[in-house]
Structures are given as structure tokens and as C-alpha cells.
Amino acid sequence: MNHTNTLTPNRFDVCMNQLLSAFDPKNWAKQMIVPIIAILVFLMLWSAGARQVHTSLGAFPGPTKVWEQAIALWEEHKVEQKKAAAFYQRLQKRIDKAIAAGKPEAKIERLRQRKYTGNETFIDQIVTSLITVSTGFLLASLIAIPIGIVIGMNNTLYSAFNPIIQLLKPVSPLAWLPLVTMVVSAVYVSSDPLFSKSFLTSAITVTLCCLWPTIINTSVGVAGVNKDLINVSRVLRLGWLTKTLKIVLPSSIPMMFTGLRLSLGIGWMVLIAAEMLAQNPGLGKFVWDEFQNGSSNSLARIMVAVIVIGFIGFLLDRGMLSLQKIISWDKHAILR
């Protein structure tokens, strides 16, 4: 194209610069001072306000109680890991005894395969939630992006799909859940399932709810491709696939990613509700169980979960943003 001199930065350099600038302390200080002050003010207001609210489970937890419970949850995780280690030691003794007694090989093999049957700790539940939301989100994206592209490029298909999309978009996950549960129970029948039913129910509910922003935003992005670029493709007589890959997709990336970010945000919210009802062993179930327990620590523990949920949602969003920055062709666009 134009004769570039060797000093023009290529894509790789641009990416690296952006990544490094994120870790530059000078940038940090400037960007972080105001937010940190805001957070401190929020904590003080929370602490003062919490003491005024009296529930039947004691005063509403302030930041100190929540911090104590966060530590307690971490300690419980470590205790459970110790219990698991003790279990495996006992198991090893049993295996040795069985070998010495000359038990059949099949039985010894079964003993070796044994897993600890202990409880999910808070950390395990975070991991389960992340896996479930990723599954649901990826499934949704795989379905939504192709549909969005196709209906964005074709008006007839758009008029065909649009009513259905508008009808299904506002449906709450809590309304989907019973239907999904019944279908999964009926269809997913297996004596040794790879995925548990609650996992599938939660993941599918997440998929059903976070399809819509991606479809809509992708179709808008695709339909809104600059007319000049379409004319260029006509002039060059580009094939349909080349046109799609080289012109339509790159120019609709910003809108597509907006859709994906919205979808992930909605998916994470839906997941917590779906887990509460489907009893998938993740953060939603943790909140529900703590509420049912009604111990004097329950409110503080639920607050810990709320903060962790918010924090993870924030990280997921930032993750998508960084992904967008890497993939997007327009490095100078302002992305919030």
C-alpha cells in the first residue's frame, strides 16, 4: 500500500506498548488516586450505616466483620485441604493393605481412583462458577455470532428472526429455569455422567439469557458497515467469504465486542440466580446456603460473596476489554 518506512510501529509493537503501559507505575498512580479515595469514603459510609441497621441476625455487617469472614473462608478452605490430604493418606494405607492381602487387581484399581468426597469450599465454588459461566458464555457466543452476522447481512433473514429475538430477549432466567431443568432431566440420562445435571442446567440458562445482546449488537455492527467499504468490495469483485472476513468482520468488531461484553455481564448475573435455584455448587449456591443457615456470621459471609461476585464480574469485563483492544484494528479508539 503506502511506502512505509521501517520506523512505523507494527501491530506487535503496538500491542506490547499497550500491555506495558498498563503496568507502568506512573500511569497507575495518576489513574488510581481518585478511585482509591472514593473507595475509602465508601467504606467509611458503609461502616457507619451498617451499625444503624439491626436485623434479627444481629447488626448488618460492616467492613471489619466482612474482612474477618473472608479470612475465615480462606481458613476453612485450608482445613478442607488438610482433611483431603488425610483422606488420601488413609486411602493409601487401605491400598497397601489390599495389595498385601492379595485382593483382585480390579478392586485395587478402584481404590486408586477414589476421590475425596468432602465439601466444596468457597474457593472451589468460585472456580465452579467461573467454569459454568465460561461454558454458558462460549456456547452463547458460538451460536450468537454466526446468527448475528447472517441476519445483519441479509434483510430477509433479519425480518424473519427479529420478532422471535424481541420476544425471547426479555425473558428472565428464573422463568427459563424450570423448563431447562425438566428438559435436561429428561434428555441427559446417563449412568456415568460427565457433567452433572445442575451444571448443565445453569450453563444452558446462562446461554439462553446472554445470547441476545451479542446477536443484536453483531447484527447492528454488520449492517452498519461503511457503505464505501462495501463499494470497494464490489469494485474488487471480492467473493462472499473474502468480503465477510476482510471487510465486514473487522469493521463490526467494536459493536460485536460491545455485545459480547454486555452478554458476559448479563451471563455472570444470571449465573448467580441460576445456581441458587439449580443448586449448582458455585457462588449462587453459597449465598443460598448461607441464607438458609441463618447463623450470626451468615450476613457477613453473604457480603463477602457479594464483593467477590462484583470483583469477578469486574475482572471479566476488563478481560473482555483487553481482548477487544488486541483484536480491534482501530488502536486509537477510546474504549471504556
280-299 binders of another protein (CB under 8 A): 289-290, 292-296, 298
Shortest Å, Cβ 118 to another protein: 8
Instruction: For residue 54, report the phi and psi dihedrals to the nearest 5 degrees.
Output: -110, 115
Taking the least distance from each CB to another protein, the nearer of 210 and 302 is: 302
CA angle 32, 38, 39 (to 5 degrees): 90
- C-beta closer to another protein: residue 98 or 253: 98
190 binds another protein (CB under 8 A): no
Instruction: Give the H/E segment covering residue 59.
Output: strand 58-59
Q: For residues 125 and 286, what is the distance between their CA atoms, to the nearest angstrom?
A: 8
67: closest CA among 306, 300, 284, 310?
Answer: 300
User: Would you count residue 119 as binding another protein (CB under 8 A)?
Assistant: yes
H helices present in the chain, as ranges: 11-22, 25-52, 63-100, 105-113, 122-153, 155-168, 173-187, 197-223, 227-235, 240-243, 249-278, 283-293, 298-327
The SS3 of residue 55 is strand
Does 124 engage in binding with another protein (CB under 8 A)?
no
Q: Which C-beta is closer to another protein: that of 210 or that of 290?
A: 290
Least distance between another protein and beta carbon 310 (Å): 22
Does 90 sit near another protein (CB under 8 A)? yes
Sign of CA dihedral 32, 257, 217, 213: negative
Instruction: Classify residue 132 by its DSSP letter.
Output: H
Shortest Å, Cβ 186 to another protein: 11
Number of residues located near another protein, criterion CB under 8 A: 18
Given the complex with another protein, which of 268 and 286 has the nearer CB atom?
286
CB of 124 to another protein, least distance (A): 12
Binding string, residues 27-66; x marks residues near another protein by CB under 8 A: -----------------------------xx---------
Smallest gap, in angstroms, from Cβ of residue 8 to another protein?
A: 59
Q: According to DSSP H, which parts of 154-248 are helical?
A: 155-168, 173-187, 197-223, 227-235, 240-243
2 is a contact residue toward another protein (CB under 8 A) = no
What is the chain's Cα-based Rg? 26
Minimum Å gap between C-beta 200 and another protein is 14
- Compute the distance between CA of residue 136 and CA of residue 112 in angstroms, rounded to an integer: 33
Among 154, 279, 322, 328, binds another protein (CB under 8 A): 279
Please, which residue, 68 or 289, has the CB nearer to another protein? 289
User: Residues interacting with another protein, by CB under 8 A?
Assistant: 56-57, 76, 90, 110, 114, 117, 119, 279, 289-290, 292-296, 298, 301
